[in-house]
Amino acid sequence: MRHPRPQVAAGTCYGSLDLDLVPGYEMLIPGIKEQLPQNIPVFTSPLRRCRIPANLFSQNPVVDSRIAEMHFGDWEGMRWDDLKGTEASSWMRNYLTQRTPNGESFQDLRNRVMDFLENAIPIDFEAVLLVTHAGVIRALMIELQQQSPRKVFTTSIEFAALYRFRYDRPSPAA
């Protein structure tokens, strides 16, 4: 599930900024809960915009920084329209592998997410709820649904919406 809408101006780069939520998000939770198995284990990003709603699904959600949004480094809090210059232009062309200044690349995020899937979720869990971010959901679309990055980055990832994925854990090497 992507977190509900945060309190931030449209067009702001806010990957790792710890933002509050737009009031009224609580009304969205019952509709999401009815789509989930009862007592589903809940994992959440450490950022407030995920942790707060995660607590409405579980009294003890597991907080894991590997499912936090991409860290945009020096660009955090800036308006996307204000990012100019060769560094920004280069990143826009190579966002999958190039890191932002003092931040991460999308590949760094993908690596974190896959480490989370492979190591954080107990093997006997049939389903879990991740309360997370658009970047993490995009990484899951690429990794688990084999969607192309081009398609994934033109897909709208809605606030407070469920996205379902199937993860078939690789068999241990013999």
- What percent of the chain has pLDDT above 90? 88
pLDDT at 97: 95
Give the domain ranges of the chain.
25-152
Q: ∠ CA 31-35-114 to the nearest 5 degrees?
A: 115
- The residue type found at 155 is T
pTM confidence score: 0.94
Phi, psi of 101 (to 5 degrees): -60, 120
Where residue 123 falls among pLDDT bands split at 50, 70, 90? confident
Domain range 25-152, CATH class: alpha beta
